[in-house]
Structure 1
Amino acid sequence: MSTLAGTDVEKLTADEAAKEHARLGEEIAGHDRRYYQDDAPTVSDAEYDALRRRYEAIEAAFPELRGMDSLSEKVGAAPSAKFAKIRHAVPMLSLGNAFADEEVEEFVARIRRFLGLAADADLVFTAEPKIDGLSCSLRYEKGTLVSAATRGDGFEGEDVTNNVRTIAEIPERLAGRDMFEIPDVFEVRGEVYMGHAEFAALNLRQQEAGKPLFANPRNAAAGSLRQLDPKITAARPLRFFAYAWGEVTAGGLPADTQSGVIAAFARWGLPTNKLTVRCRSAAELLAHYRLIGERRAELGYDIDGVVYKVDRLDYQSELGFISRSPRWAIAHKFPAERAVTQLLGIDIQVGRTGALTPVAKLAPITVGGVVVSNASLHNEDYIAGIGGDGEPIRGIADGRPIDIRIGDFVTIQRAGDVIPQVVDVVLDRRPAGATPYAFPHLCPACNSHAVREEGESVRRCTGGLICPAQAVERIRHFVARDALDIEGLGDENVQTLFEAGLLRTPADIFRLHARAEEVRAAFYAQREERARQREIETGQARKKVLSEEERQFLGVDKLFASIDERREVPLARFVYALGIRHVGEVTAKALARTYRSIEALRAALEAAIPSVPGEAWFRLLGLHSVGKTKAEALVEAMAGVDPGTDAAEAVLRDVIARARLNAPQRVAVRAAYGTDAEILAALDDARRQMPGPDFLKLAAVPDVGEVAATSLCEFHAEAHNRGLLDELLAEIRVIPAEAPPAASGAVAGKTVVFTGALEKMTRDGAKAMAERLGAKVAGSVSRKTDYVIAGADAGSKLAKARELGVAVLTEDEWLALAGG
């Protein structure tokens, strides 16, 4: 769960604010990536906006948290690596949001105050529908379209010029009545979208072709525009509305008002929205907002609100910008649509990373014009009605948080018109006999243990490489460049072999030789399906049919050769390739340096498994104001104590005295566990479940720690994972790690960070050389960093190094220092 229902910002301590700020920043950045890069949002606009508001409120209360990397200074997400990049001459910023009438009224009043206008002074706004599509910037030079880019991170977007040229509504050349009116350079900005009818027709074609359906018009439009093959974009029914501009030749604007420029767009042949009007007060803005809201279902395309802008451009210039948005504009969002239906069941879906996600199975109901039969339940805490801060989400009934039970009548919200979710329970309609839902502790896909780490709301399967729900993703990771690096086993081929039943575990990779004809047949079927899909999307027949000789080859022999080249693999790569949660490249290298061989590492894990800390220990450790030192003191004081004693009050008093708890700590223990007897029982459980010496030894390995050590032990504790390792080791040889270099030389023991483009060595080569010389290579800059080696186009890491006073070296200076 997010912390949206958490402590008031004003009540946070500096430490609490910093932790929540970092956690929210990570969560928001993930949502930005899924929305802007993957075209696959996982939360509603309302949830996302609430996260942003909380994040910005924390920064307002604690300004020291607002550094260069603050998300308040950023828009969208970095453009995808699969496209060329275009730098925006004028940044494409985002808009602030309003959700209530009062916020719109305050927006208008704030504009008047800033401009020093009297209450009766003339102030005009434009109000236009907020199109739910993909922002795009079109650059015209002397009236001719020369380039087009997505928003990206607001400063740099993806080059989609060839794709944009396929959109019929976007003119290749502007054609005004007076061509002298069109500036030499003019960047038109607007929204690429897909209408409801076109979306339905596209999904029908997808269904007939046996392809996945698009979730909504916005995803369909974004996915269609961001195709590497423009022919696919051309086959998709994309449309465009122009509503803003970027770079313009000096003095080249055709009007001195927002509405005047939009009128010029129409004269030039650009599509503009006819529902854009001029308003002279907050009341008129709100009236238009309600009018558009009432007509929303009839528009034929998706909108999620109305955008208000100050009309006069000189006023816009005077008002300027704040953070990531202009002062002179705001987006008034529509509320999510809701309905009530019955919860018929709860399905548990296992994601590709092992996360167990509950999905509500509903009596079908139409919400906002869409038939909803499934909805998100987020996680087990959400079902239980408990927020991330331990507070109830939906209130209290009968002395306990209001939970969600099978058979309940529940309120469904099509959040942001994207993902349906269950938001509330109609308690007075709860069926007699309905019982609290018991969230499974075993993975429904592979029956492995499903564990929940301290501080997380998600329960995850520990089956790893043997879990069918995770298999494809785990195998992709296993063969990736930084892992075993098997050429020819890219994402598509892994999926093809999995669907053909030829690949279920990594060990199967090394047994593919024995099924060569089946592999060829699967690859041929894959090629034929791709050709068929191209025919459907482009309407053009394939140009060539493979010869029999080509059919026999299809890259299979090359794949087998690549597999054979990886039958010997260094220990660090092998450990990383296993895809164990929290075990990245740095941790894998640390384990290899420490244990040297796979046999020694497995022996260390076997020894550590019995002493892995349990939930009772973590619960004690997590009590407010208690901490590790007092937790250890409490369990130490419990040594020799009978938790079932009849003299619980006196015994507990003695335990607390020996542990030297202060008043807040005593209150925290009492609040968490209850009676004297219950406290003693809980402390005894914690004593028995505290980490043992073998586990602590594993966790003490540099760059490992207790979190990664727990994941390693959970992985190796599963019999099927040990069996999989045995299968792999029967097929490949894991090369023992070399002895660590002696701590000598100028860079031995130093922490270094590489950033920017290096010219004399690859990034991987530079890291390997540094590690060979005894240096530690880190991925981020901190006060513990000794050197930052900056190549061309170094960015935020270089800035961070200068801010912290860390030594910055050029590539040549680094080579000289390293002796090479």
Structure 2
Amino acid sequence: MDLAARAEELRRHIAYHNQRYYVFDDPEIGDDDYDALLDELRAIERDHPELVTPDSPTQRVGAEPVSALEKVTHALPMLSLANARSADELRAWVDRMRNHLAREGIEDPEFAYVCEPKVDGLAISLRYEDGVFVRGATRGNGEVGEDVTHNLRTIPSIPLRIDGAPPVLEVRGEVYMSLPDFQALNERRAEQGLSTFMNPRNSAAGTIRQLDPKLAAERPLSLWAYGLGVIDGLRFERHSEGLDWLRDHGFPVNKDIVRLESAEDVVAQCLDWQERRGSLEFEIDGVVVKVDDLELQRRLGVVGRDPRWAIAWKFPPTTKVTTLLSVEWNVGKFGDLRPFAVLEPVQVGGVTVKLATLHNEEDIERKDLRVGEEVIVLRAGDVIPQVVSPAPHVAEQADRPPIPRPPEFCPRCGTPTEKRPDHIYTMCPNRVCPGRSWQLLKHFVSRGAMDIDGLGEKQVAQLMDVGLVKTAADFYRLTAEQLVELEGYAEISAQRVVDAIAASKARPFGRVLFAIGIEEVGEVTGRNLAQQFRTIDALMSATPEQVAETPGVGEKMAHTILAQLNDEHMAALIADLRGQGIQFELEGPPPGEGHLAGKTFVLTGTLPDLTREEATERILAAGGRVTSSVSKKTDFVVAGDSPGSKLAKAERLEVPVLDEPALLELLDGDAA
């Protein structure tokens, strides 16, 4: 095969795998294999620039910064939507449509509706010519937007080329930032001394209007496609058919969009979305309801800038104004002093908010917050409430003193605090500060770490107050007799806690590395370090260069990890925990070896005895691999109670399904 043909084949393979990943959440290859395809294409294009095409995945961040955003006139206006805030208002909308169609001579029309989450992002238009993405624009005022093609090309979920597309195709969608990505972005910006964003929508809107695409590429944006604009050479009878076509041709379309047959079903769906909005990984401010029949849409038409055939069911806002009563300081598990706001209680998104994060001291100063003034509080989904700014109507604040800098002495132990030149936080340097110890101990017993049932932050504080626990190793010296003497414990509950502590000794090495509190080491990094070095002795005696070879660990992080592991306090804790029987070595063969090497597993449902984490660790220890999505390349699906759609997909793809006993046999090498 010549190089031109190979480059074209690689582009099609990469586009296909992007679709499997971003659209169907069903990857068929791992990250390493995907990166290998992309690296091969980059090498060909580097050595043969004449083979580079505008739609190549290597060109997503290839554009030069623009000097200004050019205006774009939409061939078909991007309309706004009228609002409904109750079931009665939605039913009134249906009545208005029926009355209008009656005047058009259409009596008793049969409506079907499509309900779509109203993602709180930035509406955009994507134009494709002969299947190639040529221009992207913001909605603007609906008639005229701005050309942001250079930034939209950097979003990996937007296809650069579509197979089987008509000569002209306009796709409309919403660019957004997920809540986890938004929170991580704000934390990075706060730690870098940069201003934080008020909400995910502002993050997306500010990013998409950057002049330099490299800046846009650094921020994690995503797309939900929700409709079609101008089309030349393609026709549908229903809006839902267009959504199916978009999904089939590589565009991410929200899987929870539903087609309903009655207004009452629509009301129930909107209320359901409103109830579970806080559990979503992206922010929505309502539900868009559309008439599915495109001919009825045409007959209903538009009034002003609003289509008669669509409406937005709006949710209560997730921001409120309240009074900042005071600013207090917590000590983090690594000694960092973190500010939080004490607020006049206020209902935000259905939850009473009394406390909110302020990120760090520079963030307070940048926002010019003053005690006693009104502030805007944001609660988006499960993200911790935060104070984003003074309220817009707050006048000149010169009469109120600014919030004091961090305390000169630690609020928990009284040790003089210090501010390192290279650190964003003021620190308490006391390694045995009770505030710092409490954070470390409650982290140690938490679900993602040692997962000790019956020990939460209140119980940890109680055990510290009475002097029973000073370090994590002290948990393993507790007896039921000691606990019974404390408030809140009876004989049965005390014994349960002691049994849960004993059971945690079986937690695998990777979980232990995460639990003991090493800066920069999360769950994934802990697992990767355990896989790479197998024992704590091998890890502690490694060089920074060797540690940096671990997936996800860079050179700077490697130095940080080793410095903390070899600190005298940490070394003493590790020795004490080893003496209590905690796992500091990984059983089984090294990565890529073992009787399950090369086998891919997907876990679904609740297993009778093993937790999801325990099953994962045992599969990894046997050389297997665990992924989140079922595909043709999955070797086994392990199903427990309430397995959900993954079991159905496994059966459809004829992937072998194991229960827990069968998995245990396989792990023990007793089954082929």
The TM-score with structure 2 as length reference comes to: 0.41
Bigger Rg, which one: 1
Higher helix share: 1
The TM-score with structure 1 as length reference comes to: 0.34
